[in-house]
Amino acid sequence: MLDLNFIREHPDEIKEALSKLNTVAPIDDILSLDVRRRETIKEAERLKAQRNTVSKEIARMKDNDARQRAIVEMRETGERIKELDDELRQIEGELNALLYEVPNMPHPDVPVGPDESANVIVRTWGEPPTFAFQPAPHYELGEKLGIIDFERGVKLSGSRFYVLRNQGARLQRALIAWMIDLHVRQGYSEVYPPFVVREQCMWNTGQMPKFGENLYRDFEDDLWMIPTAEVPVTNLYMDEILEAEQLPINHVAYTPCFRREKMSAGKETRGIKRGHQFDKVEMVKFCTPETSDEELQRLTDNAEEVCRELKLPYRVVQMCTGDLSFTAAIKYDVEIWAAGIREWLEVSSCSSFRDFQARRANIRYRPDPQAKPEFVHTLNGSGLGLPRVMIAVLENYQQENGSVIVPEVLRPYMHGIEVIQ
């Protein structure tokens, strides 16, 4: 959420910045409601001051007729104040609803472009593997090895669901445990949050209102299944004031993630690339505004280290303005090469939201003990997202006989299994 005072003072700057996102934000409507809000507050406060003054005069009046007239007048004034208070609540409700619709402003370092075609590859690591045979896609490998069961996944839950079996399930579990351990060594503290949250948590991190149709929810208890660990972990500190010495706070969490994937309709969905349920390890940072750019680079490198340790070729792509998410001010995607389907697969989006989420969730800190609280900056990035890492491991480490070599760093987590066959 953008600061209302900033919108009021810099409307043209905001409009220009948001125009680069190829989106239309209701800035003029916000300004109009803001004027009505301030005028209503001013009138209500004038009448309340008048009522206080006259009430004191009534107590000193000796003329009974004048006193009764004043009482009637103040009763009418009280009714008008109530009308203004009701009007103010309605205006503020409409104003907050519009503020929630305004996306984050892009960071000055974000390249300007209309869509993903203008994204910039900032670096690459490793070389795609070469084979003396035609590498198979993961969905063929998985079925032949008996580690991915698509038919029974659909039988249980419908399209875009699958079952991992035997060494496939163990490989997934090994990846999760190893990635968490790696990030803990990088300086993150592990948390294990609930997988359902209250609706306000979704608003705080920016999933609502834009992505509401892509979320699963329990209407009876008004709980929402999380689309990413970003939601519960970021909201750990909502409505709190942190001390400067606590920052930066670095958390890592494993959760399953639930998304309807309506927005990916028409895209290639064969295999396990796009599912309604998937596992992910997520990194979340809380820091001061002065250090957020540096923390974003550190966060991105922490995600890249997972790829390097797994010896998976990857590239880092910076999103242009036309391809930024609703909440991100600046974002880098980490993409790994999958040799079987011959695609670069996004396995992490490392984003800085600056104070956008913190303002929604009311997460602040004191620069020093006597200072006025300020909003923190929040960042997050996958570290990494399953099942696309599974795809890359299966396809890049496959052998001609259909077996798959287990990456060396995962073998202790696989009880010494070196080859899936």
Please give the pLDDT value at position 210: 83
- Is 62 exposed, middle or buried, given 0-12, 13-18 or 19+ CB atoms closer than 10 A? exposed
Asked if residue 109 is part of any domain, the answer here is no
- Residue 267: give its domain's CATH number: 3.30.930.10
Cα separation, 248 vs 238, whole angstroms:
16
Is residue 349 flagged as an active site residue?
A: yes
Task: Output the six-digit token pair for 103.
Answer: 């996306």
241, 237, 244: which is closest to 367 by C-alpha?
244
This prediction's pTM: 0.91
Residue 412 carries which side chain, given as an amino acid letter?
P
Looking at the fold, whether 24 and 121 belong to one and the same domain comes out as: no
Choice among 37, 274, 366, 411 that is catalytic: 274
Choice among 87, 309, 346, 374 that is catalytic: 346
Looking at the fold, whether 84 and 129 belong to one and the same domain comes out as: no
Please give the pLDDT value at position 115: 92
Please give the pLDDT value at position 268: 67
Beta pairing, strands 196-198 & 223-225: antiparallel
Cα separation, 213 vs 396, whole angstroms:
35
- Rounded to the nearest angstrom, the gap between the alpha carbon of residue 235 and the centroid of all alpha carbons in its chain is 11
Measured CA to CA in angstroms, residue 41 lies from 86, 313, 317 at distances of 11, 59, 48
Looking at the fold, whether 32 and 122 belong to one and the same domain comes out as: no
Domain end (from 100, 134, 149): 100
Asked if residue 108 is part of any domain, the answer here is no
Range of the domain at 147: 116-420
Task: Output the six-digit token pair for 222.
Answer: 């008004």
Task: Output the six-digit token pair for 294.
Answer: 């540096």
Looking at the fold, whether 67 and 153 belong to one and the same domain comes out as: no
Please give the pLDDT value at position 262: 63
Please give the pLDDT value at position 62: 76
Contact status, residue 397 vs residue 380, Cβ threshold 8 Å: no
Asked if residue 159 is part of any domain, the answer here is yes
Domain end (from 31, 66, 100): 100
Choice among 259, 298, 315, 360 that is catalytic: 259
336, 363, 322, 115: which is closest to 239 by C-alpha?
363
Hey, is 267 helix, strand or coil? coil
Domain end (from 100, 131, 148): 100
Asked if residue 33 is part of any domain, the answer here is yes
Max Cα–Cα distance, the chain, nearest Å:
108
97, 99, 95, 100: which is closest to 41 by C-alpha?
95
Contact status, residue 391 vs residue 338, Cβ threshold 8 Å: yes
Please give the pLDDT value at position 197: 97
Contact status, residue 304 vs residue 354, Cβ threshold 8 Å: no
Structural domain count, the chain? 2
Is residue 366 flagged as an active site residue?
A: no
Is residue 388 flagged as an active site residue?
A: yes
Looking at the fold, whether 207 and 273 belong to one and the same domain comes out as: yes
Looking at the fold, whether 180 and 221 belong to one and the same domain comes out as: yes
Establish how many alpha carbons lie within 13 A of residue 401's alpha carbon, considering only the half-sphere containing its beta carbon: 5
Asked if residue 377 is part of any domain, the answer here is yes
Looking at the fold, whether 249 and 381 belong to one and the same domain comes out as: yes
Looking at the fold, whether 162 and 251 belong to one and the same domain comes out as: yes
Please give the pLDDT value at position 67: 79
Is residue 189 flagged as an active site residue?
A: no
Concatenating the DSSP letter of every residue in 280-301 gives EEEEEEEE-GGGHHHHHHHHHH
Cα separation, 330 vs 350, whole angstroms:
8
Hey, is 146 helix, strand or coil? coil
Beta pairing, strands 363-366 & 343-354: unpaired
Contact status, residue 176 vs residue 254, Cβ threshold 8 Å: yes
Is residue 274 flagged as an active site residue?
A: yes
Looking at the fold, whether 96 and 241 belong to one and the same domain comes out as: no
Looking at the fold, whether 84 and 168 belong to one and the same domain comes out as: no
Hey, is 365 helix, strand or coil? strand
Orientation angle between helical segments 27-60 and 64-100, nearest 10 degrees: 160
Looking at the fold, whether 129 and 200 belong to one and the same domain comes out as: yes
Identify the H or E element spanning 88: helix 64-100
Looking at the fold, whether 275 and 390 belong to one and the same domain comes out as: yes
Choice among 298, 354, 364, 388 that is catalytic: 388
Please give the pLDDT value at position 61: 79
CB burial of 114-130 (b: ≥16 within 10 Å; e: otherwise) equals eeeeebeeeeeeeeeee
Cα separation, 118 vs 87, whole angstroms:
46
Choice among 349, 351, 352, 382 that is catalytic: 349
pLDDT in tens, the chain (421 residues): 899 999 999 999 999 999 999 888 899 999 999 999 999 999 999 888 888 888 788 878 777 878 788 888 888 888 888 999 999 999 999 999 999 999 999 999 999 999 999 999 999 999 999 999 999 999 999 999 999 999 999 999 999 899 999 999 999 999 999 999 999 999 999 999 999 999 999 999 999 988 888 899 988 888 999 999 999 999 999 999 999 999 999 999 999 999 987 655 555 678 999 899 999 999 999 999 999 999 999 999 999 999 999 999 999 999 999 999 999 999 999 999 999 999 999 999 999 999 999 999 999 999 998 899 999 999 999 999 999 999 999 999 999 999 999 999 999 999 989 999 9
